Amino acid sequence: MADLRFCAHFPFSDEARAWVREQKLQLDVTALTDAESRLRKAFTSGELKMEAGALDSENRLQVMSYAASRLILAAWGNRWAARRMAVAESKRAHEYLKSSEDKRAAYADKLAKSLGLAFKSADASEALGDEKSESAYLIAFWDYLRFAPKDVHYKLVNGKLEKGWVRISDHQRLRIIEEAVRKRLEEPIPPLKEPDAEVKRIITRLETLLPRENLAVTKIEMKDFPPCMKKLIDDLRGSINVPHLGRVALAVYLIKAGLSDEQIAQVFSSAPDYNAETTMYQIKYARGKGYSVPSCATMDTWGICIATCRCGSPVYYREAKHGKAAAASLGLRTPHMGVSEKSTQEDA
Amino acid sequence: MAVSPHYWLAERFGAYYARAQPPSLPRLERREFGFGGWERKIEFRHLSFSSPIKLAETLAKDKPLYVSASSAYYEFPDARPMVRKNWQGADLVFDLDAPSDKCASGRGMPCAPFTCSECIHRVRENMVRLVEDFLLADFGLSRNELQIGFSGSRGFHVRAYKKEMEPLGRDERREIVDYIEGSGLTVDQMLVQEPIAGHPNMYKLRGPTPNMGGYGGKFAKKVVAMVKDSATAGTISPKLKKKENAERFIAGVNEGRWSDVPITHALDVFKQLFESMKLSVSNSVETDVNVTFDTTKILRMPDTIHGGSGILAKTIPLGVDFSSYEPMHQALAFSMDKAESVKALQAIPVISLGNRTFDAIEKDKTVELPTAYAVYLVCKKVAVPI
């Protein structure tokens, strides 16, 4: 007998999927309508709220709406949509895991297991300092490396590694589970060849919510960008989730390159968890603070240095690559770094 | 007429492979191979072999001077371009080499192209630290999951085989290297000075406890171990040579108090100790970190001959103590008995090989030498066969 509440909270879990298969239910109009609103919410706000599900019938509907949303994504084949959903669904799962109800039911253990993640409970008395009373867990370092957020606070060198196990707090454990969920949902969905007419209609309606193509507008001269910045932009364009510090580095770089807040926001608009308001706030904040572009060494510690250009700082890349004359000519440029994307392709 | 050095070496390498135990690696059929000759270390790549025996047959027939294999496993190891190989995972590999522009002997001149025993010992010490302090202690690997071997030239290769680590990508492998290098960590993050009320120039020192785990715990453990040992306690402070002081100091550190026994210039002393704990792979030794990150690279196949030395990139057997392994004496492919005639192209210094020390050789002099040493000099391009 499936635990319907677990299935509703974590509709991507093996248990929920098995339940859907067992029911042999056709995805009806109700499920498709619910799914459309689920996708719509995630596309516009970047998040999905938890829903109270005391009744089995409510839980059932939630599982079905998730299953229908995956069917729509399978028929659609849009990368941005799939990644945006992966972020929203994994954040929602995290919210559930934090709830006292899920804690009582030890759903984190169950979900972790179904994701192939093994946590051991560590002797809490050994946990010292910043995690005083929080219960501590151990995770195998390879799982930690694969699923911990790409963030300076989760760098292994700052962590507690012993005999192959990394000691983490309960909070970190839930965050790692969230990442594992996101990664699983980002895996390619097998395409659905012949969707029915209703699914096609929903896709047409949802297409209006996709971020607009903005390459022609921003006019970034990509060939002058160092590989690390190019990679960050490419990742954003491909709707790959870029870690927070990567976004900071890119935003500061683009500010220094003379782009306007709006132009920078457009670069970020294809991020899977894009939220127009937050993004604009953060760009303005970074501009106000007058941050300088992180050096190569800092980029390296943040885990976003990807090349061996070793130019000292991304701002010196152009100089290092093309010589001093190039640096001087950059100084003469108009605020928007001038040339359009098109000229980059011609150069290539 | 004198034979070409390349031909002369190839004949000997081929003969070695025809009689030697076929070199092997786990899941050899899933790996990409590359061969090199006199001009380049990798002339052909994208090769694959269905078994160690098939590989050995080809080595005996084609007689390459260099044999490289991928740390990666592929569905189609011989497919091109790289993406069509379909990467399935990779071993975790470390490549530690003695720098070629410096010599550990302190004699001033770099020993390269030869490798002096001081250089080998320096790299070996780092290899031992990598294995014992990091791979075994922190990463929890066991000795039988590691393959440790001579690189064939100026260093050692350490390969870790563990199913769970195979899928790790470039970024995750970089995290492992950052950990080993203690990248970005300073002692200031570990030890905090707390002012003492009413004493403006005095402070208390708070720090990690030995049971904390991570670099903090590692650091505290190391300091406690040093203080416990009367032979090393003095290097931290002469005060700690006294047993009661040492005990008081340790009891404090166990509780996170690092100044129960006040130590002169404590922060400087601990800073130096802390830095020595990291395995600085870029200063004392050259670790080609790209080998660890780059999961598509091919590198020297264990138990094949290195064309730059004629010495085997020999795997150190599990029962042999890797901390005292002497590759210049224990990893030879060729005989120390048979004699070959070679002519020196330049002055050759005194060199030790195969448990013998050979006198310096003058330029243009023709000498008769044991095969292993003759091959070594021809590989180094400082002598030619006659």
What DSSP string describes B236-305?
A: H-GGGGSHHHHHHHHHHHHTTBS-SS--TTHHHHHHHHHHHHS--TTTTSEE-HHHHH-TT-EEE-TTSB
Q: What's the ipTM?
A: 0.85
Q: In chain A, pLDDT over 90 holds for what percent of residues?
A: 31
Among B171, B215, B256, beta carbon nearest to A150 = B171
Of the candidates B282, B136, B141, B270, the residue with the CA atom closest to the CA atom of residue B216: B270
Using DSSP's 3-state secondary structure scheme, residue B291 falls into helix
pLDDT at A58: 84
pLDDT tens digits for A228-264?
Answer: 888 888 888 877 878 888 898 999 988 887 788 888 8
Q: What is the C-alpha separation between A274 and A268, in angstroms, rounded?
A: 7
* CATH code of the region B334-386: 3.40.5.50
Give the helix/strand (H/E) hosting A124.
none
* B-proximal residues of A, 83-142, CB under 8 Å: 126, 128-129, 140-142
Considering only CA atoms, which of B2, B17, B99, B73 is closest in space to residue B334? B17
Q: How far is A160 from chain B (nearest CA, A)?
A: 4
In angstroms, the CA B223 to CA B136 distance is: 20
**In the prediction, which pLDDT does B69 show?**
97
Region(s) of chain B under CATH 3.40.5.50: 334-386
Q: Give chain A's mean pLDDT.
A: 80
pLDDT of residue A152: 76
Note whether B212 contacts A145, CB cutoff 8 Å: no
- Nearest-by-CA chain B residue for A303: B171
Distance from CA of B90 to the nearest CA of A (A): 13
Enter the CATH code of domain B5-179+284-332. Answer: 3.90.920.10
Kindly give the parts of chain B with pLDDT less than 70: 1, 280-289
What region, left, alpha or beta, does residue A157 occupy, with left being phi > 0 and alpha being psi -120 to 50 degrees? alpha
> Taking a C-beta distance cutoff of 8 angstroms, is the pair B168, B153 a contact?
no
What residues of chain A, 302 to 331, have a C-beta less than 8 Å from chain B?
303
In chain A, what residues touch B256 (CB-CB under 8 Å)? 128
φ, ψ of residue A282 in degrees (nearest 5): -70, -35
Task: Spell out where chain A has E strands.
Answer: 119-121, 136-140, 160-162, 165-169
What is the reported pLDDT for B375?
A: 97
Contacts of B178 in chain A (CB under 8 A): 155-157, 301, 303
Residue of B nearest to A138 (CA): B213
Of A170-179, A195-204, B7-16, B361-370, which gets the smallest average pLDDT? A195-204
CB pairs under 8 A between A and B: 78
Residue A262: its pLDDT value, please? 87
pLDDT for the residue B331: 96
For residue B181, which residues of chain A lie inside 8 Å, CB to CB? 157
Give residue A221's pLDDT.
Answer: 64
Residue B378: CB atoms within 10 Å = 21
Residue of B nearest to A307 (CA): B290
Mutate to test the interface with B, among A126, A142, A155, A302 (most CBs of B within 10 A): A142
- The pLDDT value given to residue A325: 42
Task: Indicate the angle between helix axes A227-237 and A244-256, nearest 10 degrees.
Answer: 110
Which residues is B203 bridged to in the sheet?
B195
- Residue span(s) of chain B under CATH 3.90.920.10 come to 5-179+284-332
